[in-house]
Structure 1
Amino acid sequence: MNATAELGRMMQKEVSFQSVQAEAIEAVQRGDSPIVAVMPTGAGKSMLFMLPAWVEPKGVTVVVVPLKALRKDMAHRCEKLGIRCATWTGRNPPDSASIVLVTPEKAANEEFGTFLGKLAFAETQMVLLTATLPPTDEDDLFKRMYWKREEQEKDAQLEQIVEEVLRDTTQPEGKVVMMCESKDTVREIVEARLFPCEMFHADLPDEVKEETLDEFRVGSIRVIVATGAFGMGIDIPNIRLIVHVDNPRNMRDYGQASGRAGRDGLPSRAIIIRGGIDFKNELVSRYMDPERRECRRIEIDRYLDGSTARARCEEGEYACDWCADSGRTDAAVETIPAT
């Protein structure tokens, strides 16, 4: 939806978003979860759930509100906007309401849990709205909500580096492969809908894998999220980026998987996102060491070729982060971190 236009129609006047309203509404539209929006008092936090409820009245938005006066005010505002709103009492479940207001105490009881179960709770978003969350308390909030903050940060990393490839007009057909060490991780990334992508792993039916590869080759799919089943014998020329979501099991697997990129001779990258499964492989750990004081390609050459001749990244190669940061590279292309 065009959020600004819909907001104007709902309010019946020309309006614009303020504070972080626009960014928060965009996150709601994408299906992000959890979302934490910190906005000053009076900045329009309630619009972040009233607008979606007005646009899609068939859905149900549960709003946990601790103050009685605030619940009454929200109910009154919903009535003026034509949004079906009800306050949870536990006696008559508000099955036809678009917005259900509930106290924290009643939200924790068994009856309300049953009501949520009927709404397919596992598929809904979690949005927290507040005017008072100092940055120093953010970690405590995530712990209390049993959220893993590193997963949110990793999602943002993945989205950013993949979008760089998809938006690259110099190589408009560039493709991305994301390597994971478990099928569960593959499914989580695909279901998170961070970007258009398809999954590829050994348990998929052969016809599904073949169809996925065919679509990947012709470019109707540009991002595949895969297990090691993708790393062997697949030759698709314009893969620009290999992302390892978990640490590689060993240097052989890393060389095999990263070798899927750049088979057309054009610049390509292999990136490892720290924080995934760690197999405690000594060579991989040495290669990924953030305190490393020499070219990362040296480790690959030693293992794969037995060569000790390299001192740095060379002209025509993507520079590893150490060579770029130390200024010890003749690489002609833009520097991309190796980890």
Structure 2
Amino acid sequence: MSPYATSSDPALTLLQEIFGYPEFRGFQREVIDLVTGGGDALVLMPTGGGKSLTFQIPAMLRQGIGVVVSPLIALMQDQVAALKQAGVRAACLNSTVEAPEATEIFRQIYQGELDLLYMAPERLLLPGTLAMLDQLPIALFAIDEAHCVSQWGHDFRPHYLGLSQLAERFPRVPRIALTATADERTRQEIIKRLNLQSARLFVASFDRPNIRYRVLPKENGKQQIKRFLEQEHKGDSGIIYCLSRKRTEEVAAWLNGEGFTAVPYHAGLPHEQRERNQQRFLLEDNLIICATIAFGMGIDKPDVRFVAHLDLPKSIESYYQETGRAGRDGLPANAFMVFGYEDVAKLHWFMDQSEAEPAFKEIERQKLDSLLAFCETTECRRKTLLNYFGEARETRCGNCDICLDPVKTWDGREAAQMALSCVFRTGQDYAMSYLSQILVGEADERIERNGHHRISTFGIGKKHAKNEWMDIYKQLIFKGYLRVVGEYRTLKLAQSCRPVLRGEVEVRLRTKSRKVKKVFKRRYETAFTTHNDQQLWDALVRWRRETASAQGVPPYIIFGNATLEAVVESRPRSRSQLHQLPGIGTHKMELYGEELLELVAEYAA
């Protein structure tokens, strides 16, 4: 039995004494009891929902060492640093570990002095590593970010496929696979590829109620982002996702010129610069990182106040995973995205140029169509998002742009039929500008040469201006009724347009330009009722920053904002009062308790 299990309820004791939380949330306790008892589990829980505790606590309760598979070095380092702060015996083996440190880690492993060992799958699957594990008592295997095993997914890692052998090689060791993002297809693939057919499935709500979702048609993307930052996120940490490497650097440079502090991040940067920029983001409080999808999965930074998309991601899974990096501390955060025709055309072109199998390309198109439907919805965004992941929600959330500032729509069935008919009657070989010109009846030399001034759709749409038809075409593309094909952006009819042409479905279109009538105020700003409270807060933040800097760890590893807020609000005067606050376990009490109490006394009201 583990030395931690010294009470009648050892799991709860660990939660309270080590991690500083009074009680378990959701089904955490059920998973912990199952895995501690030797069972296998597949856990789907949103980012920030407490997945890590479901394998960290069983690893401490069971005999032996818990082996955690993690895809990125930054993720391992963050989690190990946080565990050490809490007094847990943890280490990671990766390419950044120098030989003397690795030697000490191996000594601790063989002496039974570690509870948790983090490794990348490629390191775990080395013959030498597996041979070492054969000689040890293994408490459990935890496979984090398990969606990486899915070849249909958005974060596929080939080495994850080799993890299937753990079930055969270590049949008596419980395994727990965890992810924040997996639709039904991905869940089944995780079960199959990791040999988890007998595992119990735990699915938490995908809802992140603290995140406000907002999606706007792209007019001038950079200016829209600038207004968003100025109005709501001055001095906040956040991530701006871009589609290309070049764009991340351009946007970062532009933001710096506009008075913000920003750095780029993408896989093409020199390794040293990439690592330096990531470390700055983790350590600094007001840095914006402009990134491709190469950035993020290994980031545990809890106080990211916004995630913005300047370009469309490829799927709802990607969008959910990326926006989930905001507000991991449970405090209010924003997910802001602008999308436009150029984004869609570019993604369609990428798919057309891809050498992937036709079946894979079709799934990619379906995923993009689902994302565009989310962007174009006139219903509650949270409801649309949750329904995509199979979680039925009937009520509106009251915390997305649609709920807070409802969209005006009009009956576009007839207009849609005209637009689609024009595509058909011109042979599906022209771009939207040319088609719009035909609909308003503007004949020119090219239209007359092609004989399109004599087709039935010429001039049929004079009640709308040409730019209005352009907007209608864009919306029909976003709704999945049209495809953008080739270098010249010609429009092709999609299968889904047939019911529209037959008049069998309703088509609601947005008014041409959705101007934001409402300025959304800052969603998170530490506001205290007295000047003295604000002074104490500032002192605590300053102390945290200095303490973290001295140890070479991010400030949130010391304490999160929620813990510091609780200190300000409760003004603890004794160690017992301080120990009752969230996030202050026994080890952190020993490390920092006296300093916190001294600061509270110094700023006593």
User: Which structure is higher in helix share?
Assistant: 2
Task: Name the TM tier (shorter chain).
Answer: 0.3 to 0.5
Relative to the length of structure 2, the TM-score reads 0.26
Relative to the length of structure 1, the TM-score reads 0.45
Greater relative contact order (CA < 8 Å, ≥ 6 in sequence): 2
